[in-house]
Amino acid sequence: MNNTINRRAWFKSALAITGGLTLSSTFTNQLLAAPVSHAEGNFIPLLNEKLVRLGSNENPYGPSPLARKALAEATAEFNRYTFELVQEFKKVLADKEGVSPDHILVVNGSSETLCLTGMALALEGGAVLSAFPTFRSLMDYAEKLHARWDRVDVDDYHKHDLDALAAAVKPDTRLMFLCNPNNPTGTVIEGKKYLDFCQEMSKKTLVFSDEAYLEFLEPDEQQSAVELVRKGHNVMVSRTFSKVYGLAGLRLGYAIAQPDVIKKISKYQMGPVINQAGLAAAKASLNDVAFAKLTRSKNNEALNFFQQYLDKKGWFHGQSRTNCVLFPAPKDGKTILAETMKRGFQIRVWDFQGKEWCRVSIGTLNEMKAFVKAFDEVVG
Ligand SMILES: Cc1ncc(COP(=O)(O)O)c(C=O)c1O
């Protein structure tokens, strides 16, 4: 897509073809990874597969060249189950993380880790605790099995309020979920402060560190809580190949935790077989350092452009270090969703503190340039 005009012309012709076909609300939920606001719950998007996807924090540059090559080479084995391959990959990951293989669980996308952990913990009763807003899947699963979700609002800068989180731990808190960098705010709890906090909290409850966006930080800033797992603390780390590695559609992730925790959650996994394509691509991606670097630098360029746009408008946003930004919706959320979609862009609207917020994922620089033009039209 070169410019907004072309996109609009395309959109008009697409509308003519589909006759304004709308999606079902079930499909809407899938498309939007479950609504996170009243605006999304009431919004039925138009069928438009050419949308610029600024709604799911995907990597617009992936998969990496090495992953593509590995996939092509692996196809001949796609008729086989992956019993041995999973064990091999577990060993690769264990070596990378400095733990033993029984500290690792390989999963079909880190959503599986969130689901398994939410279920396993909720079955013991009690509560899960997290900042709000954050990536809510684990807590949603826990709530479905009747656990309580205790939330602590992020602070005025959209950062985790660590004192308030510490104070919110109760005798029945089974797990504290921390997303660092956080989705949807993009904010980070920096290095040593993060590790000190996780270590302290792990004396009271299991600390879950969702590090889906860790690789968006520069390598010398990537402070993973895996260091605490290595030292034997009650900490669990979740990683994914969906973001910087650009493999969202291949569903590959892993968890790192003490072996008893891995055993507890893996009881609920569908089986020991992980998808073969994902394994091949993920293994190759780990070696594609150049691609991760390219993603980081292109994302930073587009992120800076977009955050500067928000600054010029005088709209608040947390300091994002990942591939999404959250800012107050300048108009009502449903209108924003409909009008941005009409102009060819998919974004998200969140509810927080009685207000509506736009979460925009960072696409390519050209996509972001086209988006701000469209957004200006939408919000007047
Ligand atoms: C913080 C966070 N964790 C986990 C996930 C799930 O990712 P996946 O299941 O693709 O690994 C996402 C997806 O957006 C996310 O933002």
Query: Looking at ligand 1, which atom is closest to the CA of residue 179?
Result: 1
240 lines ligand 1 (CB under 6 A): yes
CATH 3.40.640.10: which residues of the chain?
65-287
The C-alpha atoms of residue 258 and residue 29 are separated, in whole angstroms, by 34
210 lines ligand 1 (CB under 6 A): yes
By the 10 Å C-beta count (0-12 exposed, 13-18 middle, 19+ buried), 330 is classed as middle
Query: Looking at ligand 1, which atom is closest to the CA of residue 242?
Result: 10
**Token pair of 373 as six digits:** 């033009």
CATH 3.90.1150.10: which residues of the chain?
4-57+291-379
* Best CA proximity match to 101, nearest among 239, 267, 237, 262: 262
Question: For residue 50, what pLDDT is reported?
Answer: 84
pLDDT along the chain (380 residues), means of 10: 42 40 51 73 71 96 96 95 96 98 98 97 96 97 96 98 98 98 97 96 98 97 97 98 98 98 96 92 97 98 98 98 98 96 96 97 98 96
Strands 253-256 and 104-107: antiparallel
253 lines ligand 1 (CB under 6 A): yes
Q: Which of 111, 179, 324 to mutate to test the pocket of ligand 1 (most atoms within 8 A of CB)?
A: 111
| Domain with residues 65-287, CATH architecture | 3-Layer(aba) Sandwich (3.40)
55 lines ligand 1 (CB under 6 A): no
179 lines ligand 1 (CB under 6 A): yes
- Name the fold adopted by 4-57+291-379: Aspartate Aminotransferase, domain 1 (3.90.1150)
135 lines ligand 1 (CB under 6 A): yes
For residue 359, report the distance from its CA to the centre of ligand 1, in Å: 15
pTM metric for this prediction: 0.91
Question: For residue 380, what pLDDT is reported?
Answer: 85
281 lines ligand 1 (CB under 6 A): no
**Token pair of 374 as six digits:** 């469209």
Question: For residue 13, what pLDDT is reported?
Answer: 41
Dihedral sign, Cα of residue 220, residue 241, residue 30, residue 56: positive
183 lines ligand 1 (CB under 6 A): yes
